[in-house]
Amino acid sequence: MTLSAPPLSLRLDPAALISIRRPVPGYRLAFVSIPRLLETCLAISVGPSFRTAPPLVFDNDAFCESFLSPDEIGIVNGFKALKKQVEWIAGRYAVKQLARQFLTAQPPLDSTRIAYRTKGAPYFTSDPSLPLSISHSWDYAVAGLGLAPARVLGLDLEKIRPDSRNTILHTAFSGREIDDLQNKDNRELFLRWTAKEAYLKYIGMGFHESLKRIEILQHAIFHDARPVPSLTLHSHLPFPAYAFSMVC
């Protein structure tokens, strides 16, 4: 397995609305700033307190650029919290920017359809063989796309929250991982946590598998104590106080 940990100098611009990156050959990532999205892409006002606000009713006129279908706007209006609405919109925006740039013969963005497999993995209905993955955390959303069929992809983004260290340590990590992490800082802990989450998306399990059965030890991924070969794990800190991992 190949592990990639770019230096901090490769952090993205936190103020940019969208940043497209090529983490490894054959894959593209789109990072979206949620505050910038709210400022530039919505025609209605959504204040900084959206994480604790009740839901809004969106229609096509709520967006400066039409990128959601009527069905997708219906999904947005079905969420019971504005935080969930905003995060879902940001994830869809990231996905559709990848579609705009890298898919051939794509219809307009508001006609670009995304469906979900049985255990939650998203895919383009026009190109179901291309791997797709979405994640979001606090101020950012990210989508990843594989540019060739028969590839597999999983990614995860998390805000580094020191106050959650003990909870995450004992919820997500095995005993031998806990021993290994005792003297590691929060950045390392959250990078390993995102690696676990990304791997679960890679195998298509999501919440259907225990995080403790996935271990990140000695720069390798173990599943049920057996090393997993032939993977690339791309982990880094794309923004201050955020950890990100991609498994492909």
Q: Which two tokens stand for residue 130?
A: 């291309």
User: In this structure, which amino acid lies at residue 101?
Assistant: Q
* Domain end among 127, 150, 173: 150
**pLDDT string in tens for the chain (248-residue length):** 333 344 333 578 888 999 999 988 899 999 999 999 999 999 998 887 899 999 999 999 999 999 999 999 999 999 999 999 999 999 999 999 999 999 877 778 888 999 998 877 899 998 899 999 999 999 999 999 999 887 889 999 999 999 999 999 999 999 999 999 999 999 999 999 999 999 999 998 766 678 899 999 888 899 999 999 888 899 999 999 999 999 99
Whether the CB-CB separation of 122 and 128 falls below 8 Å is answered with: no
Verify that 55 and 115 share a domain, yes or no.
yes
Q: What is the CATH classification number for the domain harbouring 121?
A: 3.90.470.20
| Among 193, 204, 207, 206, CA closest to 235 | 193
Residues 200 and 234 in one domain: yes
Helices 70-78 and 82-102, axial angle in degrees (round to 10): 150
Q: How many CA atoms are closer than 13 Å to the CA of 238, on its beta-carbon side?
A: 32
Predicted local confidence at residue 10, as pLDDT: 54
Domain co-membership, 14 together with 129:
yes
Angstrom distance (rounded) from CA 20 to CA 22: 7
16 lies in the same domain as 129: yes
Same domain as 90, residue 75: yes
What pLDDT is attached to residue 8? 36
Cα–Cα separations (whole angstroms), residue 46 to 38, 43, 71, 216, 226: 7, 9, 22, 39, 47
- The Cα 11–Cα 9 span in angstroms is 5
Token code pair at residue 135: 């994640």
User: Does residue 92 contact residue 24 with C-beta atoms inside 8 Å?
Assistant: no
**Segments forming the whole domain that contains residue 201:** 157-247
Are 9 and 122 within one domain? yes
- Residues 235, 207 share a domain: yes
Say how far apart CA 25 and CA 150 lie, in whole Å: 14
**pLDDT score recorded for residue 3:** 38
Backbone angles phi, psi at 120, to 5 degrees: 105, -5
pTM over 0.85: yes
Give, to the nearest 10 degrees, the angle between helix 186-202 and helix 165-172. Answer: 40
Verify that 138 and 209 share a domain, yes or no: no
Gap between the Cα atoms of 38 and 153, Å rounded = 28
Residues 116, 203 within the same domain: no
pLDDT at position 73 is 97
Domain boundary among 150, 181, 205: 150
CB 156 within 8 A of CB 201: yes
169 lies in the same domain as 146: no
Total number of domains in the chain: 2
Residue type (1 letter), 113: R
Question: What is the model's pLDDT at position 117?
Answer: 85
130 and 186, same structural domain? no
CB of 169 within 8 A of CB of 212? no
> Distance (Å, rounded) from C-alpha 210 to C-alpha 190?
17
Co-location of 96 and 164 in the same domain: no
Quick one: pLDDT at residue 70? 95
pLDDT at residue 6 in the model? 40
pLDDT at position 207 is: 67
